[in-house]
């Protein structure tokens, strides 16, 4: 086959580029408006096109698209897509009165809200904004657009004020949270600055300076932060600064597949009737392999194994007193049971599936695991599911109580002894332990002692 002519090459380049524009025009527009506009600095289509050309579409030998910023196709797609994005914004905020807004046939009713959430805001046509007293419109024939983030200026101010007044947060953490809020709010432009390019430069400069607490990016001269017992001395480990620091350190360990060293703690009575937190097992240090974090019923849990073991446990993050990443030690391979049941083909942890099997993730470091069988009324099987998930064995039971209700036998496998006992005690009016014998005796004796302590 002969070589392609120059005309054929240009045609292929053009097709490739137009396909790229069709597939990405939404995000390209939003990328410019998010970083270069706000209510006081709206931008024209010309500015958006030129900014895209400057960022992505330089027409030189290194550009595989070989596109031209003045391309007629780009202009056409920009105008059409800007109109669509603005119409979606109008529908979301309820400004459809007097407007003729139409969507492609088959577009779901909830699309405007979904777009708003995904983009983190909406694209606004300047004619729909309050531009009184502004002298931004130099060309009467040009439309101006800007990006309005979900967080308003008052939202950002309120959140930042709350962060600043929080005495549990360090200066590093306050800077981090305020900077992240600014990103979400999109308010980083210098007031009165009308230079288009300066506005983009300000944004880029701020992004470069953004605190790196979330990623814990380190150089050879700095180490990964650690949480020490001194950091939470006299405070609870669930309070602002300590909890935030723990989450960031754990994210680093999970992302980089590192082992961690932790000291666990217990709540205990403190001075003057206040709650305190003390070291567990005399401050014993545990070496763990962390695999995931799961949020369940308002608590954050770390899914991990002890060194040299394959038994997966979950640890309450708020009850970790001290935490250190072992930089020179890679975590062990993911246990087969965890990988087969709760991790997909892309190596992504499936928290919903894990919680469905472990719905009540009580904090417990007891190694003892038991298979337990108990009797309960058929109409309260959901109590067992709420505690132990759907992987339970249900059998018919011939027992007939005075209430004439139907009963069943339920068997659960390899659950924490302490947690199973607690479940049986808490639901003693609904369930009766049958096996193992030691569990039956333990529950019976505990209930007898409890009855003795109740005052008459």
Reported as a single tens digit per residue, the pLDDT across 15-30 is 877 788 888 888 888 8
Q: What is the pLDDT of residue 338?
A: 87
Give me the mean pLDDT over the 199-203 stretch: 54
- Which of the 8 DSSP states describes residue 349? B
In the numeric block, the tokens 């947690």 are attached to 419
Residue 63: other Cβ atoms inside 10 A: 13
Angstrom distance (rounded) from CA 28 to CA 52: 7
Given a cut of 80, whether residue 322 has pLDDT beyond it is: yes
pLDDT at 365: 55
Supply the pLDDT for residue 207. Answer: 58
Q: What is the pLDDT of residue 288?
A: 95
How far does Cα 300 stand from its chain's mean position? 12
d(CA 301, CA 317): 5
CA 289 to chain centre: 21
Dihedral (CA of 49, 53, 57, 58) sign: positive
Q: Which residues, including other chains, have CB under 8 Å from residue 211's CB and lie 6 or more apart?
A: 172, 175, 176, 179
DSSP-derived letter for residue 346 is T
Residue 93: band (very low, low, confident or very high) from pLDDT cuts 50, 70, 90: low
Residue 331 has pLDDT above 90, yes or no: yes
| The total number of residues written for the chain in this structure | 456
Helix/strand/coil percent split, the chain, to 5 = 45, 20, 35
Per-residue pLDDT of 277-295, as tens digits, reads 888 888 889 999 999 988 8
Phi, psi of 296 (to 5 degrees): -145, 120
pLDDT in tens, 34-70: 878 888 888 888 888 888 877 766 555 555 444 554 5
| Continuous H helices in 2-95 | 6-36, 45-55, 72-92
**How crowded is residue 57: how many other Cβ atoms within 10 Å of its Cβ?**
20
Q: Decide if 135 contacts 194 (C-beta within 8 A).
A: no
pLDDT above 50: residue 446? yes
CATH 3.30.70 in the chain, residue ranges:
369-453
Nearest to 32 by CA among 47, 13, 21, 18: 47
Those residues whose C-beta lies under 8 Å from the C-beta of residue 133, and which sit 6 or more positions away, are none
Which pLDDT score is estimated for 373?
94
pLDDT tens per residue across span 264-277: 887 777 677 677 78
Q: What is the pLDDT of residue 80?
A: 87
User: Of the given ranges (156-170, 255-269, 407-421), which has the lowest mean pLDDT?
Assistant: 156-170
Average pLDDT along the chain: 77
Q: If we measure between CA atoms, which residue out of 414, 322, 325, 417 comes closest to residue 365?
A: 417
Q: Residue 279's pLDDT is what?
A: 85
Give yes or no for residue 194 having a pLDDT over 50: no
d(CA 275, CA 272): 9
**What is the structure's pLDDT at 170?**
73
> What does the pLDDT read at residue 362?
65
Range in 96-105, 233-242, 359-368 with the lowest mean pLDDT: 96-105
The per-residue pLDDT for 375 is 92
The residues facing 410 across adjacent strands are 374, 394
Closest by alpha carbon to 439, among 453, 426, 420?
A: 420
Q: Give the pLDDT confidence score for residue 149 in this predicted structure.
A: 86
- The CATH number given to 369-453 is 3.30.70
The pLDDT confidence band at residue 182, using thresholds 50, 70 and 90, is: confident
Per-residue model confidence as pLDDT tens digits over 401-439: 777 788 889 998 888 888 899 889 989 988 999 999 999
* Cα diameter, the chain: 102
How far apart CA 359 and CA 362 sit, in angstroms, is 9
* Predicted local distance difference test score (pLDDT) of residue 266: 79
Is residue 430 classed exposed, middle or buried when 0-12, 13-18 and 19+ CB atoms within 10 A define those classes?
middle
Question: Beta strands of 186-298 (E only): which ranges?
Answer: 258-269, 275-279, 285-296
- Please state, in angstroms and rounded to a whole number, the distance separating the CA atoms of residues 340 and 104: 42
């Amino acid at each position: 086959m002969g070589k392609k002519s120059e005309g054929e090459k240009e045609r292929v380049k053009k097709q490739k580029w137009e396909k790229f524009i069709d597939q990405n025009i939404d995000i390209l527009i939003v990328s410019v408006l998010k970083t270069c506009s706000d209510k006081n600095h709206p931008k024209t289509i010309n500015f958006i096109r030129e900014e895209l050309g400057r960022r992505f579409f330089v027409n030189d030998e290194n550009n595989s698209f070989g596109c031209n910023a003045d391309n007629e196709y780009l202009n056409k797609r920009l105008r059409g897509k800007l109109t669509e994005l603005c119409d979606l914004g109008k529908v979301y905020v309820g400004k459809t009165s007097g407007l003729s807004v139409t969507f492609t046939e088959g577009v779901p009713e909830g699309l405007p809200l979904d777009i708003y959430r995904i983009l983190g805001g909406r694209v606004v046509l300047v004619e729909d904004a309050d531009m009184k007293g502004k002298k931004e419109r130099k060309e009467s024939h040009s439309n101006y657009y800007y990006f309005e983030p979900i967080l308003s200026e008052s939202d950002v101010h309120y959140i930042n004020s709350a962060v600043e007044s929080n005495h549990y947060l360090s200066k590093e953490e306050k800077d981090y949270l305020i900077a992240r809020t600014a990103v979400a709010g999109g308010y980083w432009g210098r007031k009165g600055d009308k230079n288009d390019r300066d506005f983009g430069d300000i944004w880029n400069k701020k992004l470069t300076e953004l605190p790196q607490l979330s990623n814990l990016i380190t150089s050879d001269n700095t180490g990964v932060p650690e949480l020490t017992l001194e950091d939470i001395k006299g405070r609870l480990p669930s309070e602002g600064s300590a909890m935030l620091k723990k989450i960031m350190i754990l994210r680093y360990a999970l992302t980089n597949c590192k082992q961690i060293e932790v000291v666990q703690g217990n709540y205990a009575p403190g001075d003057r009737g206040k709650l305190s937190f003390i070291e567990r097992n005399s401050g014993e240090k545990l070496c763990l392999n962390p695999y995931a974090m799961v949020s369940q019923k308002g608590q954050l849990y770390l899914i991990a194994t002890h060194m040299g073991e394959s038994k997966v446990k979950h640890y309450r993050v708020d009850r970790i007193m001290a935490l250190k990443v072992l930089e020179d030690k890679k975590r062990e391979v993911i246990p087969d049971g965890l990988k087969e049941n709760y991790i997909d083909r892309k190596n992504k942890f499936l928290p919903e599936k894990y919680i469905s099997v472990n719905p009540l993730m009580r904090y417990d470091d007891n190694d003892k695991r038991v298979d337990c069988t108990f009797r309960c009324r058929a109409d309260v099987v959901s109590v067992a599911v709420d505690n132990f998930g759907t992987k339970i064995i249900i059998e018919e039971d011939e027992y007939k109580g005075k209430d004439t209700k139907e009963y069943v036998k339920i068997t659960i496998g390899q659950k924490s002894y302490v947690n199973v006992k607690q479940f049986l005690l808490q639901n003693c009016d609904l369930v009766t332990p049958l096996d193992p014998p030691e569990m039956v005796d333990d529950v019976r004796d505990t209930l007898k002692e409890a009855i003795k302590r109740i005052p008459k």
